[in-house]
């Protein structure tokens, strides 16, 4: 099997400097390197560097895919976004997960979601010689969602660990975020990227509130927050903007606002009631029911699709085949006279259409009679007869 590895990195908060691009060029002569990122694929050899080191020094996002059933997504986030205790709720206190981890790289966290099936337990068509391109553009909005305080991707990381048997049965889930039943497009892409077991998600989502139900008009909160800012705090934000650090300014504002609202909700008693947290064992106990429900829904969808296809075929047969039955029999006769395999194939398609059209019209006897007439002249063609037998027509 040929080797395939795909590496893509993106610099979002700050573009790569000419010096940084030169440093990366020393690592690869073939990669596509721009101020916004690094892209390369390997059919032999490997990346001359460590992705985590590159994420620490240069980049904010990274996607890796290899045709030995392995893929990774890395996102770098400001250290101030999550304190260690908050992140430990999702990743655990140890950082040895093969599914979801959060690594301390000084001034930032690097979060990683991963999939690896070295035993090929399930054959997956996506891990071919071109799986990598396109994933990062689909997954990149996850970073902005997390920056805005959306913790669904973090919860999905924890749930991924539970579904891959990395957690003990008595391990408690994190607080369930709202909106698990209506994931964003990037969160849906994450499920596909790491081959997520959606039955686990269905069970977890039972305790997740709808986003609309928890949405509030933040205008009064924003006004209250603005009134609470000191002159020095405002100057600090404006200074960052003047210096060109727009992302840093936005991050300071977002963090300060989020912390203020959280503190007010505790003091005012306006915070939403916390849903009781479940254990991994309790989540697993609901899998059979979730799986049965999903399979029933999928069967209903298949049945509905078959009905639609049957209706479309019946309309086609009634409109295109039935009125021209006599001419089509003549076309079948002409095809058989050619004696080639492709002609037999075309003839069989037509005979099957005639069989279905005449059956739907209640004219089965007419079909049998016309087929018998046809076989008087061509019944000696063994290849043709075999096709009819395989199709169940004789």
DSSP letter string, 81-118: GS-HHHHHHHH-SS---SSEEEEE-SSEEEEEEEEE-T
Residue 1 pLDDT more than 60?
Answer: no
Report which of 58, 57, 28 is spatially closest to residue 41, judged by C-alpha positions.
28
Residue showing tokens 């030169």: 22
What global pTM score does this model have?
0.75
Q: Are 189 and 135 in contact (CB under 8 A)?
A: yes
CB neighbourhood size of 41 (10 A): 17
Residue showing tokens 């960052």: 240
Mean pLDDT for 374-378 is 93
Cα–Cα distance between 143 and 60 in angstroms, integer?
9
Residue 274: the pLDDT is 60
234 pLDDT tier (thresholds 50, 70, 90): confident
Q: E strands along the chain, which residues? A: 5-10, 32-34, 37-42, 61-66, 70-78, 100-104, 108-116
Mean pLDDT for 226-234 is 83
Q: Are 173 and 280 in contact (CB under 8 A)?
A: yes
* Most confident range, picked from 114-123, 172-181, 223-232, 242-251: 172-181
Q: Are 287 and 199 in contact (CB under 8 A)?
A: yes
**In the sheet that 32-34 helps form, which strands lie side by side, from edge to edge?**
32-34, 37-42, 5-10, 61-66, 70-78, 108-116, 100-104
Residue 83 pLDDT more than 90?
Answer: no
Q: For 221-234, give one letter per residue: b (16+ CB within 10 A) or e.
A: beeebeeebeeeee
Residue 271: the pLDDT is 47
Burial of 262 (0-12, 13-18, 19+ CB in 10 A): exposed
Cα–Cα distance between 266 and 183 in angstroms, integer?
28
Q: Are 279 and 171 in contact (CB under 8 A)?
A: yes
Residue 214 pLDDT more than 60?
Answer: no
pLDDT tens profile 111-134: 999 999 877 656 677 887 788 999
Cα–Cα distance between 343 and 334 in angstroms, integer?
9
Mean pLDDT for 310-329 is 95
Residue 198: the pLDDT is 94
């Amino acid at each position: 099997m040929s080797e395939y590895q795909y590496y893509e990195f993106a610099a979002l908060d700050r573009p790569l400097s000419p010096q940084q691009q030169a440093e990366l060029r020393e690592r690869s002569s073939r990669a596509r390197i721009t101020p916004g990122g690094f892209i390369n694929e390997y059919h032999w050899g490997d990346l001359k560097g460590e992705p985590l080191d590159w994420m620490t020094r240069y980049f904010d996002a990274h996607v890796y895919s290899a045709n030995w059933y392995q893929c990774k997504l890395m996102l770098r986030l400001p250290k101030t976004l999550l304190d260690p205790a908050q992140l430990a709720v999702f990743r655990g206190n140890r950082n040895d997960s093969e599914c979801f981890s959060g690594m301390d790289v000084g001034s930032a966290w690097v979060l990683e979601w991963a999939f690896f099936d070295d035993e090929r337990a399930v054959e997956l068509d996506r891990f071919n010689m071109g799986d990598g391109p396109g994933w990062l553009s689909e997954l990149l909005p996850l970073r902005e969602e997390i920056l805005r305080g959306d913790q669904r991707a973090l919860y999905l990381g924890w749930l991924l660990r539970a579904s891959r048997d990395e957690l003990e049965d008595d391990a408690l889930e994190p607080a369930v975020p709202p909106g698990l039943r209506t994931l964003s497009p990037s969160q849906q892409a994450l499920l596909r990227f790491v081959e997520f077991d959606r039955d686990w998600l269905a069970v977890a989502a039972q305790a997740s509130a709808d986003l609309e139900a928890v949405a509030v008009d933040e205008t009064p909160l924003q006004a209250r927050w603005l009134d609470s800012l000191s002159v020095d705090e405002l100057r600090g934000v404006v200074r960052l903007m003047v210096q060109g650090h727009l992302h840093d300014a936005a991050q300071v504002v977002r963090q300060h606002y989020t912390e203020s609202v959280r503190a007010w909700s505790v003091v005012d008693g306006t915070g939403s009631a916390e849903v009781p947290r479940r254990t991994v064992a309790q989540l697993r106990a609901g899998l059979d029911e979730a799986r049965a429900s999903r399979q029933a829904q999928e069967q209903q969808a298949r049945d509905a699709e078959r009905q639609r296809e049957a209706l479309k075929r019946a309309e086609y047969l009634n409109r295109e085949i039935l009125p021209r039955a006599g001419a089509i029999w003549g076309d079948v006769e002409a095809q058989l006279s050619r004696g080639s395999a492709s002609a037999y194939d075309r003839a069989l398609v037509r005979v099957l259409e005639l069989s279905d059209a005449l059956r739907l019209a209640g004219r089965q006897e007419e079909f049998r009679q016309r087929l018998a007439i046809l076989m008087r002249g061509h019944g000696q063609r063994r290849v043709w007869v075999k096709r009819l037998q395989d199709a169940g027509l004789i």
